Amino acid sequence: MTNSMPYSRHDVSFTSGDASCSAWLYLPEGVTSPPVVILGHGLGATREMRLDAFAERFAAAGIAAFAFTYRHFGDSGGQPRQLLSIKRQLADWDAAIAHIKGRDDVDGGRVAVWGSSFGGGHAITVAARHPELLAAVSQCPFTDGLASARALGPRASLKLLPFVARDLAARARGADPVTLPLAGPPGSIALMNAPDALPGYEALIPPGASFVNAAAARVVPTITAYRPGRAAKKVEMPILFCVSNHDTVTPPEQTLRYARTAPYGEIKTYEAGHFAFYLGEPFEQLVADQVEFLTRHLDAR
């Protein structure tokens, strides 16, 4: 990448609720008190799954980047493992923002949030709750649980219910969660079973790294009821929506309807699938657009 500046990466942890979240802080060298963008991933994913690629580009442009992993996943704390709680994940975002505001090596007054997929929905919710932020990026965002359930299909959705019942019973007994695959092949029982879902997840895992393809089944009803796109109209700062025209997981038609309600929204669409955003030419196009947007609104130098 031309005209980029060097940066350093630091292992960081911060407290959220009853546990801690692990994170990477990317600091551009030679920049005093840089602005910062906080990055959170999608459904059950961890920061190792290509958040580093985006963070590196932001840091090379003079913007500090803080990529974290939600509690209950990866190397972050939290018991039980693989618990996907929307309430807890949003609390993790709040804790990440508080942590950044308390640091003396970044400018806590120039902060943006960046989320992808399920995290893209969270980014909308978080931006609506934190008017002090200067910008937000919502990439291939999950915006409407009902729309995503329809994309999965009624028959596939019904097949999840026995697992939900067993997991709720396990929670009542204090037993380990009953889990569902996050992604599976077409026709399989999984939270996502579009043709590109499982290979898409697998393509994001670095060589030699491990990834637990599972989440506690109790999350299914809350995912269906979660409609973060409705908060777009309450986002008081510039927000960039990066939307896949061929999204098999988060239907673009509904996402675009919500995006158009954001008072200061900017929308860019891409001829790439939901899982193609992280690699190759789609990634290059996306990250260039995002660097331009963040540089403009964070007044990065």
Helices (H) and strands (E) in the chain, counts: 9, 10
Whole-angstrom distance, CA of residue 272 vs CA of residue 203? 15
- Count of domains for the chain: 1
pLDDT at 158: 85
Write out pLDDT tens, residues 262-301: 999 999 999 999 999 999 999 999 999 999 999 999 986 5
Whole-angstrom distance, CA of residue 252 vs CA of residue 226? 16
For residue 53, the enclosing domain spans: 7-150+228-298
* 155 lies in some domain: no
pLDDT at 301: 58
- The single-letter DSSP state of residue 275 is G
The average confidence (pLDDT) of the chain is 95
* 181 lies in some domain: no
Residue 27's DSSP bridge partners are: 8
Q: What tokens were used for 10?
A: 């630091």
* 159 lies in some domain: no
Whichever domain contains 276, its CATH number is 3.40.50.1820
Whole-angstrom distance, CA of residue 141 vs CA of residue 243? 7
pLDDT at 1: 44
Q: In what order do the strands lie in the sheet with 135-139?
A: 7-16, 19-28, 64-68, 36-40, 111-116, 135-139, 239-244, 265-270
User: What phi and psi, each to the nearest 5 degrees, are found at residue 213?
Assistant: -85, 70
* 261 lies in some domain: yes
Residues lower than pLDDT 70 in the chain? 1-3, 300-301
pLDDT at 300: 67
* 66 lies in some domain: yes
Burial degree of 225 (CB within 10 A; 0-12, 13-18, 19+)? exposed
* 72 lies in some domain: yes
3-class SS of residue 153? coil
**Count of residues making up the chain:** 301
Count the Cβ atoms, other than its own, within 10 Å of residue 22. 20
* 218 lies in some domain: no
* 200 lies in some domain: no
**Amino acid occupying residue 280:** G
